[in-house]
A and B are shown apart, each in its own frame.
Chain A
């Protein structure tokens, strides 16, 4: 699984740390870290919570163009 750099950028845009984002979505920092590193595939429920907090759409954060 590829790294989710879009998520990392969106979090930086909001000036949030992984721990702050984790707290806002009710997850742990390890989970947010694993999503950004592409080591964990989150459920749609968590994706939506992340999008809501970061003010982005699912497409903007989680859509991957086929190569």
Chain B
């Protein structure tokens, strides 16, 4: 059945490539802006209801990206062989980020007191573990999908001449 919403691409290949680049920048720009907006509002103790819509849109973008990347056997543009070491590095980054975020949010001007560090550090360790587990599971799914895509037999059939 013909898709009633289908619109024919009237652009040539270079324009199409440029359009995809613009869309890609738009997606990641929006993703980053939403993340910053959520973090700032959350750090300023804004009531959650006020940034719930941003959070839902952000999570939908994350879920869409994760699902489509894995479905197509793509990890990132700069890394095609994720392993425990690189996953641990990203997780440390996430953990440190969350520790700093909680320090700023909870302690403000008292951040230098040791008593203020326990909560953020425990939060950071928990987030590190969470990110690491999610990355490891995603990497396992990625390798599984890659292997299934590589084994697919979809060579064009030879024509009889």
Contact = CB atoms under 8 A, between A and B. Distances in A.
Contacts, number: 21
Interface string B4-19: 0000000011110000
Contacts of B15: 28, 30-31
B13 to A, nearest CB: 6
A26 to B, nearest CB: 7
A67 to B, nearest CB: 27
Contacts of A43: 13
Interface string A4-19: 0000000000000000
Given A27-B13, A31-B15, A42-B14, 7 more contacts: A27-B12, A30-B15, A34-B14, A42-B13, A43-B13, A45-B13, A46-B13
The 9 closest A-B pairs by CB, nearest first: A31-B14, A27-B12, A28-B12, A40-B14, A31-B12, A43-B13, A46-B13, A34-B14, A28-B15
Interface of B: 12-15
Interface of A: 26-28, 30-31, 34, 40, 42-43, 45-46
13 contacts: A26-B12, A27-B12, A27-B14, A28-B15, A30-B15, A31-B12, A31-B13, A31-B15, A34-B14, A40-B14, A42-B14, A43-B13, A46-B12
